[in-house]
Amino acid sequence: MIPIFQQFPGLKDKLPYVSLCQFPTPVKKLDKLGQAIGVEHLYIKQDGLTAQPFGGNKIRKLEFLLGEALEQGAQEVMTFGWAGSNHALAAAVSANKIGLTGISMLMPQHSADYVRRNLLMSHYANAELHHYPNKLLRYLGVKYRQFRHWLKKGKAPYIIPLGGSTPLGIVGFVNAAFELKNQIEKKEILEPEFIYVALGSAGTAVGLMIGLKALNMKSKIIPIRIIGQDVTSPATVLELFSKTVDFLHTADPSFPVLELSEHEFNIRDEYLGSGYARFTKEGNEAVDLMDEAEGICLDGTYTGKAAAALIDDARKQVLKDRVVLFWNTLNAQDFSGFIKDLDYHRLPKSFHRYFEQNVQPLVDFGPEVT
């Protein structure tokens, strides 16, 4: 049983849940990287291994969200993101695993190799892919598709909001903090003072903040912005925190009523660069360093930027003698075998451009490709 249900059995009775993950994800000491940047106690939490054939942070949220989709008798799940969205792919792959169909409502982004891979893998997982040039057209597209699917299936698709960051989805990351606590108790890792994690739709960071507080742990979340203020602001974090705590407390009154003030966290804005999915020099250097030192693969959109913050802080001596955890949110499963024979022409035409235009170089950082 997952640790949050062990600790709060009332939640087990109330919350929808479908098991999709292999828990706990491993923690590992990063001796070589730690030595290179002067942090003796540096660890990684490998959420890339949450599931197969596609892991990463999003599957934790999907265990609850897809649990609800099943409970409601849905046959399809609709979600949102940009073309290379890991979340949309995670939803499509996980839905497919439990007999549902994913519908991904996507918007344009700067291309990269991973965008190509994720689109092909979504296709492999039988997802229905749609591409809209802007939010307004996507909004209209959602209404139209919901109606069409309702006509076809007699039921509208279950909707998963952007990034799966609803109170129900966020419970997956409250549970992740409980999982970490167990690993600390088993002495697999020292209790971290700082946990660095990428901040997108904020559910990952907020869930961890709630779990750490509920457990009275001293670890502080360092959220690193990878998307603009228009999507996620400090107010978003505060709102998701209080809504999720309310949700948990209502489901099981023994779950503590927790509060978060804006002084308790600091979103690190300085590693975003020129925007979501725009690679940065610092991010790419962090990807290189992690690969050279530990053979662990990061990416330029999310985890490279989060690692860049950690490395920068370490170089400024902020992390000297501290216990630091890098929460790796990126899928670590190699799914290339599933897509190697797929031809991108089988995707809707509006996605072909991601295969026909240049991609941003990740390892050899050069001038921006537009």
Ligand X SMILES: Cc1ncc(COP(=O)(O)O)c(C=O)c1O
CA-CA distance, 261 to 21, in Å (whole number)? 32
Taking a C-beta distance cutoff of 8 angstroms, is the pair 237, 267 a contact?
Answer: yes
Q: How many residues bind ligand X (CB under 6 A)?
A: 18
Nearest to ligand X of 280, 329 (CB atom)? 329
Q: Is 200 in the site for ligand X (CB under 6 A)?
A: yes
Q: Is 326 in the site for ligand X (CB under 6 A)?
A: no
For the bound state, the minimum distance from the C-beta of residue 47 to ligand X, rounded and expressed in Å, comes to 9
The continuous run of DSSP H or E covering 79 comes out as strand 76-82
For the bound state, the minimum distance from the C-beta of residue 342 to ligand X, rounded and expressed in Å, comes to 21
Nearest to ligand X of 41, 172 (CB atom)? 172
**The dihedral of CA 232, 252, 56, 132: what is its sign?**
negative
Nearest alpha carbon to residue 169 among 293, 369, 336, 17? 17
Q: Is 50 in the site for ligand X (CB under 6 A)?
A: no
The alpha carbon torsion through 120, 147, 142, 84 (nearest 10 deg) reads -10
Nearest to ligand X of 286, 330 (CB atom)? 330
Q: Is 329 in the site for ligand X (CB under 6 A)?
A: yes
The continuous run of DSSP H or E covering 106 comes out as strand 101-107
Nearest to ligand X of 30, 330 (CB atom)? 330
Q: Is 284 in the site for ligand X (CB under 6 A)?
A: no
Binding mask 116-135 for ligand X (x = CB under 6 A): --------------------
For the bound state, the minimum distance from the C-beta of residue 12 to ligand X, rounded and expressed in Å, comes to 23
Could you identify the residue written with the tokens 């689109």?
119
Binding mask 289-308 for ligand X (x = CB under 6 A): -------------xx-----
Give the footprint of ligand X on residues 78-117 (CB under 6 A).
86-87
Q: How many CB atoms lie within 10 A of CB 223?
A: 26
Residue of the chain from 3, 24, 34, 56 that contacts ligand X (CB under 6 A): 56
Q: Is 268 in the site for ligand X (CB under 6 A)?
A: no
Give the footprint of ligand X on residues 330-349 (CB under 6 A).
330
SS3 string of 117-182? HHHHHHHHCCCEEEECCCHHHHHHHHHHHHHHHHHHHCCCCEEECHHHCCHHHHHHHHHHHHHHHH
For the bound state, the minimum distance from the C-beta of residue 267 to ligand X, rounded and expressed in Å, comes to 11
Taking a C-beta distance cutoff of 8 angstroms, is the pair 201, 81 a contact?
Answer: no
Nearest alpha carbon to residue 11 among 175, 221, 181? 175
Q: Is 57 in the site for ligand X (CB under 6 A)?
A: yes
Q: Is 204 in the site for ligand X (CB under 6 A)?
A: yes
What is the DSSP pairing of strand 27-29 with strand 41-46? antiparallel
Q: Is 237 in the site for ligand X (CB under 6 A)?
A: no
Q: What are phi and psi of 253, to 5 degrees?
A: -60, -15
Nearest to ligand X of 74, 205 (CB atom)? 205
For the bound state, the minimum distance from the C-beta of residue 161 to ligand X, rounded and expressed in Å, comes to 11
Name the one range near ligand X by CB under 6 A: 100-108, 151-159, 203-211, 280-288: 203-211
CA-CA distance, 105 to 136, in Å (whole number)? 12
Which residue ranges make up the site for ligand X (CB under 6 A)?
56-57, 86-87, 163, 165, 198-205, 302-303, 329-330
